Amino acid sequence: MSIEQLEIIAQQMVAPGKGIIAIDESNNTIKKRFDGVGVPNTEENRRAYREMLLTTPGLSDHISGAILYDETIRQSTKAGVPFTKLMLDAGILPGIKVDKGPFPLAGYPGELVTEGLDGLRDRLAEYARLGAKFAKWRAVITIADDAPSGTCIEANCHALARYAALCQEAGIVPMVEPEVLMDGAHDIDVCYEVTEATLRSLFSSLYEHNVLLEGTILKASMVIAGKDSPDQADTDEVAEATVRCLRASVPASLPGIVFLSGGQSDEAATAHLNAMNQIGPHPWPLSFSYGRAMQQAALKLWAQDMAKNFADAQKTVAQRARENGLAALGQWKKGA
């Protein structure tokens, strides 16, 4: 794939009023979600659930792409249509999670570094053959009394840059995700400092590895107080702090930024995105790449009766996509 094609795909991912749905939960993670609603964690149930999501009528009106898991990118609909073909025919870009998850960072108790670089070049080549147009790698940054260390930030950003360079070599747009976790009792100011330091390190590493920013998407966490903090910021404070942090650390040449929901409620994730876009204009589009905030309500409904509630669950997915699509334009109104 040419450089120009990488840029075109990246721009398609953040087209006006559109965002990404993340359905890349590992089998262990989706087991927890299924256990919570009483659904057995079988391969067929995982396939059927993802089919329900991906065949939602009108999904492409507000969804530009979907991040898949290794199992999912190889699966097909009940009628035998590969998910990747179904998506491309509907105008939805197939994406793929390629990291192997976070592991303890040796020498730094409580801190994590994401692994998965070994064999990544070959895996990316296979995913490209299967139809993947973009990929995702998630790094995890924890805030605690003595964390994060500079070493943890640097190690994760170095891995993100190496992953991104390998993606572009394979003709795949890299989505780089340095998630600053909401876990903890820190206030919004501490989150701001850690997020800014992380993003500055990330873009320095991307530059050092000759990654084409015009063919890269940032998946960012919002600047928000820890969930155990007694001092919770309101919607406007979160929006202002997040935008200020991004403007201080993200190059304008980036095609766009999508946010993760990171444990926020469905409504809070939408409201924060909407408020950020009402502050604009910005150097880059601000959109969404939500997992739980897109799926949670639909999963509960689908789980009650997979056949009977199939269409109603899809209506819930479509509604969440529409709400977040409007928020990506700064046009969402609560209850509308």
Active-site positions?
Answer: 177, 219
Cβ atoms of residues 84 and 132 within 8 Å:
yes
Secondary structure (3-state) at 239: helix
Closest alpha carbon to 199 in 154, 159, 233: 154
How would you classify the pairing of strands 112-114 and 102-104?
antiparallel
- Show the CA angle centred on residue 99, arms to residues 187 and 223, nearest 5°: 15
Secondary structure (3-state) at 295: helix
For residue 285, give every residue at least 6 positions away whose Cβ sits within 8 Å of its Cβ, in sequence order, or none.
Answer: 14, 16, 255, 256, 257, 328
Task: Please report which residue ranges of 209-265 form alpha helices under DSSP H.
Answer: 235-249
Which H or E element spans position 139?
strand 134-141
Q: What does the alpha-carbon distance between residue 278 and residue 269 come to, in Å, rounded to a whole number? A: 15
